[in-house]
Amino acid sequence: MERQAEKRSAIEIVSDFMSSAPVDLDAMARALGLDVTLDAEIPPDVSGKIERVAGGRFRVSINQKHHANRRRFTLAHEIAHYVLHRDLIGTGVTDNAMYRSANLSDEQEVQANRFAAGLLMPADVVRRKWSEGIRSDAEMAKEFRVSPAAARIRIDELRLGKVGFAALKSA
């Protein structure tokens, strides 16, 4: 039997998980056929890595010592590398604390970071939560299991905060 990830595109699989908060990244990774492990041996300045292993599979290792929200972002970031750049992965992409890899370009790292933010906080779900009255960074962060700073950035990206002249005045 073919793996689910081979039957459907990675984007189709990812989209199945984008309708609620918090997004179940572990289930998403399993559906994509990724093996995910928490690793206590990863150096402190490395957040995680993705590598091709035997049988054409991929393994994601996440720094077990990092905060839960950071581990979630790292998993989302490595899923992004799988979806966007898996042909470039080869024997591994290691992301340090700045989410940069020596194996990929800065542009590919920026792509992975943006994709990861979208995985963690899908635009439609953020807008729905906003319309339900969840307005503070802290409340939004709790809903999506991200940091308040990440929640604020996403709210601003989606232009849900202040709009118009008031936003320009306070910038």
Tens of pLDDT, residues 61-106: 999 999 999 999 999 999 999 999 888 887 666 554 444 455 566 8
pTM higher than 0.85, yes or no? no
Q: Which residue has the tokens 């179940």?
A: 24
Report pLDDT for 2.
44
pLDDT per position as a tens digit, 20-33: 999 999 999 999 99
Q: Which of 84, 72, 62 is nearest to 14 (CA)?
A: 84
Taking the alpha carbons at both ends of the chain, their separation in whole angstroms is 56
Any idea which of 42-46, 149-153, 162-166 has the lowest mean pLDDT? 162-166
> What is the fold, at CATH topology level, of the domain defined by 1-120?
Arc Repressor Mutant, subunit A (1.10.10)
Q: Which of 156, 160, 129, 132 is nearest to 145 (CA)?
A: 129
Q: In what order do the strands lie in the sheet with 46-52?
A: 34-39, 58-63, 46-52, 93-96
Distance CA 143, CA 165 (A): 29
Q: Which residue has the tokens 């960074």?
A: 137
Distance CA 171, CA 165 (A): 10
Q: Which of 21, 116, 4, 108 is nearest to 60 (CA)?
A: 116
pLDDT per position as a tens digit, 106-162: 888 889 999 999 999 999 999 999 999 999 999 999 999 999 999 999 999 999 976
CB 86 within 8 A of CB 109: no
